[in-house]
Structure 1
Amino acid sequence: MKIETVYFGSIEINKEDLIHFESGLPGFQNETQFTLLDLEGNPAFKVLQSAQTESLAFVVTNPFLIQPDYEFKLDDSTVEQLNVKKPEDISVWSIVTLKEPFETSTHNLQAPVVINNESKKAKQISLNHPSYHTKHSIKGGEHQHASSD
């Protein structure tokens, strides 16, 4: 199927590669179909692109590459909703807020996107963990304080 994207123009994707967010993403409840696209030359980042809305795309990264000690437990309802059979079936992504220069960009550890790579079901979850915030430096370790930009 053909979709329009923010960063790559019109592209062809396999329908089997669509990721389904049953309740959409927070703030985008009607956006239920996404796909993960590679950023050429930058394997640490991907684009979570809406299959419905060309202008809706999020740069995401594997939070464990930046914060090796990052951990959380999925609650039973999320495990059931995503049809998780074994932990290795899931991937976890944090949404990146891009800034100039790029090194000052942040990623959200408080609300990771969890994808069951087998069932293609996904959900953005909210963690109530005192160490995780919405603006962690992509350089690792440090938290960026919210600013008015």
Structure 2
Amino acid sequence: MKVQTKFHGDIELAAEEIYHFESGLPGFLEEKQFGLLTLDDTPFFVLQSTRTREIAFIVTNPFDVFPDYEVKLTDEVLELLQIEKEQDVLTFVILTISDPFNQSTANLQAPVIINGSKKLGKQFIMSGSDYRTKHKLFEPRIEQGAK
């Protein structure tokens, strides 16, 4: 499938590179198919709509940035995504990129869950958790010698 992308120009995606989001994403309910594209030499990916060039989200693996992050999937999500084993689960969080970059944030309240083997995805809103939609990716560094 030929896809016009926001960051990679026109590319070709094979059927096995496309993830189906039955319910779309919140705010983008008509967007049902996405490709997961790498951003070279970064820990980030682009979740790119196959339908609309401008709909592309910068995402990352939250466990690389927030090692204590926990996602407890509901039975409904496990069933919807046909998840049978933990190895099938890919977890990403959507980033809000800021200028300056060190002010960028991650939405830990609503991770994107993908069943890598079945090519199914869903943004899972963890209601009742302490996670917010804007967790800073980079905590301010304490200057050496500062008190």
Structure 2 distance, partners of 1:6, 1:88, is 30
Residue of structure 2 equivalent to 1:63: 62
% same residue: 48
1:16 aligns with 2:3: no
Would the alpha carbon gap of residues 140 and 116 (structure 1) be closer, same or farther in structure 2, given more than 3 Å must change? farther
1:5 is matched with which residue? 5
Structure with bigger gyration radius:
2
Would the aligned equivalents of 2:109 and 2:129 in 1 still touch at CA under 8 Å?
A: no
With the length of structure 1 as denominator, give the TM-score of the two structures: 0.91
- 2:89 & 2:139 partners in 1: Cα distance? 22
* 1:64 alignment partner, SS class: helix
TM-score, normalised on structure 2? 0.92
Paired residues in the alignment total 140
Residue in 2 that maps onto 1:145: none
Distance 1:86 1:24 in 2: 23
C-alpha distance in structure 2 between counterparts of 1:140 and 1:112, whole Å = 20
1:93-132, aligned counterparts within 5 Å?
A: 93-132=92-131
Instruction: Note the alpha carbon deviations across 1:85-112, whole angstroms, 9 max, x for none.
Output: 1011111000000100111100100000
Aligned mates of 1:129, 1:71 — CA distance in 2: 13
Unaligned runs of 5+ in 1: 142-149
